[in-house]
Amino acid sequence: MNILILGSGGREHALAWAVKQNPKCDRLVVAPGNAGMAEIAECASLDIMDGGAVCAFCEAQSIDFVIIGPEAPLAAGVADRLRDAGILCFGPSAAAAQLEASKAFTKEICDASGAPTAAYARFTNAAEARAYVEAQGAPIVIKADGLAAGKGVIVAMSVAEATAAVDDMLGGAFGEAGAEVVIEEFMEGEEASFFVLSDGKNVLPIGTAQDHKRAYDGDEGPNTGGMGAYSPAPVMTDAVTARALAEIVQPTVDEMAKRGMPYQGVLYAGFMIKDGAPRLVEYNVRFGDPECQVLMMRLGAQALDVMLACARGELDRAQVNWADDHALTVVMAAKGYPGSYEKGTAIGGLEGLPEDSKNMVFHAGTARKDGTLIATGGRVLNVTARGETLAEARDRAYAMVDQIDWPEGFVRRDIGWRALP
Ligand code: AMP
Ligand code: GLY
């Protein structure tokens, strides 16, 4: 079959890498793609936010299956347009994508389905929000309702910090996304991510992971999109996973179906886990980046089979064959990220690195210029390895990092610390 993947990050390179290994994939097209994806797929220039343009492209190119990587085209209804046109597609409708696009909507779904999450209140009025913060005290969490590129959450350690965040958000710092704020109880515990596929009715778990959001070693520095990840997450024991499915994920999927907005695609649940009890922090309606890189490393070619079963509504007949393995990815980012950084710097040393089922460098912000690989974004490479133990995966990933010649880049040296002795 002919397959189109929308997106250009490390997440989409990992998806492309897994899909390409499956013999069902005859032709692989990515839009817009990056230098790494260009080595295994055709890159098409296409406005991935424009559902009409994506449909027209699929019809002209005889595309049989579309995998949508990022949240923005999902929230914009690209999956709806594809399904209306009769094109098989992996990714939720715009209505279902509200689980990521509106924090207030997600809270409403939790209330209706009884899923454990932080206590909260919603505000559009700054004076009322400030009064609530003062009554509750700190620590407290302030969230812009809408999509804010990962920057719309302030975990405030003092009332002053919380009221400043309220003023900022309701004052327009995030535009429409901040027109309403959700103020939440601060939850203590250990965070982990859980990924399931849902076809609207059935749910298939496809792995757990932990991310490293801060820029520097020891979880210091500013928040980023993620500086590394590993899978599985030891805190997601079988017992915690079973509770998460029964108390949070399946009730959400059931509630969405009841509301006439069945959830089809990957549902990424972020949990806070304390004393074996998971509570929902947030949902995302796409794979995590860089969590997808470690999930794809572990799933390999079967990723396409389960995504197809998901899109066709046949997840009750699908399964994942797990190896008893671990995967870890280290993000190489441009010095200065997540603030300002230089673009166009040259990257060397990738040619000698292994590329196989245990070692892969997934590209994010890269391009080729006159044959040279250059950095074009903040997060640039995802150096990923799989092993029988997490320590083995970590050692191999860092051995590859050390062979990459990119003086303008940096990595965290402690990816996996929580799960390693
Ligand atoms: P979110 O975008 O909702 O995942 O929030 C970003 C990060 O803020 C999460 O990964 C948590 O580390 C933290 N966070 C969000 N909500 C809470 C909460 N209610 N209690 C504690 N930490 C939170
Ligand atoms: N790595 C976090 C995310 O993709 O949201």
DSSP secondary structure letters along 38-91? GGTSEE----TT-HHHHHHHHHHTT--EEEE-SHHHHHTTHHHHHHHTT-EEES
Question: Which amino acid is residue 26, in one-letter code?
Answer: D
CA of 155 to the centre of ligand 1 (A): 7
Q: How many residues does the chain have?
A: 421
Nearest residue (by CA) to ligand 2, atom 3, is 288
Q: How far is the CA of 70 from the centre of ligand 2 (A)?
A: 10
Residue 191 beta carbon below 6 angstroms from any ligand 1 atom: yes
Q: Which of 181, 187, 281, 283 has most ligand 1 atoms within 8 Å of its beta carbon, as the pocket-test mutant?
A: 281
Mapping DSSP to helix (H, G, I), strand (E, B) and coil, where does residue 168 land? helix
Cα separation, 165 vs 136, in Å, equals: 15
This prediction's pTM: 0.96
CA atoms within 13 A on the CB side of 389: 6
C-alpha 304 – ligand 1 centre gap (Å): 31
381: left (phi over 0), alpha (psi -120 to 50) or beta: beta
187 CA closest ligand 1 atom index: 20
Instruction: Write out the chain's pLDDT in tens, 421 residues.
Output: 999 999 999 999 999 999 999 999 999 999 999 999 999 999 999 999 999 999 999 999 999 999 999 999 999 999 999 999 999 999 999 999 999 999 999 999 999 999 999 999 999 999 999 999 999 999 999 999 888 877 789 999 999 999 999 999 998 888 888 889 999 999 999 999 999 999 999 999 999 999 999 999 999 999 899 999 999 999 999 999 999 999 999 999 999 999 999 999 999 999 999 999 999 999 999 999 999 999 999 999 999 999 999 999 999 999 999 888 999 999 999 999 999 999 999 999 999 999 999 999 999 999 999 999 999 999 999 999 999 999 999 999 999 999 999 999 999 999 999 999 8
Cβ of 77 closer than 6 Å to ligand 1, yes or no, is no
Comparing CA positions, the residue from 365, 331, 353, 357 lying closest to residue 403 is 353
Q: Whose CA is nearest to atom 13 of ligand 1?
A: 155
Ligand 1 contact via 71 beta carbon (within 6 Å): no
Q: What is the pLDDT of residue 284?
A: 96
